[in-house]
Amino acid sequence: MERISWDQYYMAQSHLLALRSTCTRLMVGATIVRDKRIIAGGYNGSVSGSVHCIDEDCYVIDGHCVRTVHAEANALLQCAKFGVPTDGAEIYVTHFPCLQCCKQIIQSGIKKVYYAEDYKNHPYAVELFSEAGVKTQKVGLSDLAIDSEYEAKAEFVKDLLDKLDSVQVDRNQVKSMKEEARQLFKI
């Protein structure tokens, strides 16, 4: 097995952070890196000590959940809180940053934004990144996946295989499929 690239490694960290998100609309994670070292991470969630979207749903105004602090902002705030400089750093985000996060990234001195997925890429954010000399690059994780729907998929395949028992199919083929599904999904 080949080692994953640094970009994939840091992006995988961001995807892992996204699993901590408390917003039910979109799970986002961000990892800030300087000199090949992770200096901060964040995910989108409510203000510390406040109610979370997973508890009382999102608080949506003008199409945006205003209850959450975005992943990029949380990572930047972590650096500020602990006095960790971000000038010249890079950020890896699961989704293209919104306009407000774009401005914060530029102001923090971050020079490169890596993102895994396009998400309502605001034209002005793209323009601002360009004007500020902040490079953006899409980083895919084709060989690496974090599957947050694993349990639901496993249950679906188990049910599907159980139903195959009740129809006219080659019993040896069903038995073989069941064994493969059990090995793949550990069911």
Contact criterion met (CB below 8 Å) for 50 and 69? no
CA dihedral 4, 10, 15, 20 (to 10 degrees): 140
Distance CA 72, CA 102 (A): 9
179 is known as an active-site residue: no
Q: Pick the catalytic residue: 72, 90, 127, 180? A: 72
Helix (H) or strand (E) holding 169: none
Contact criterion met (CB below 8 Å) for 76 and 108? yes
Looking at the annotation, which residues are catalytic?
A: 72
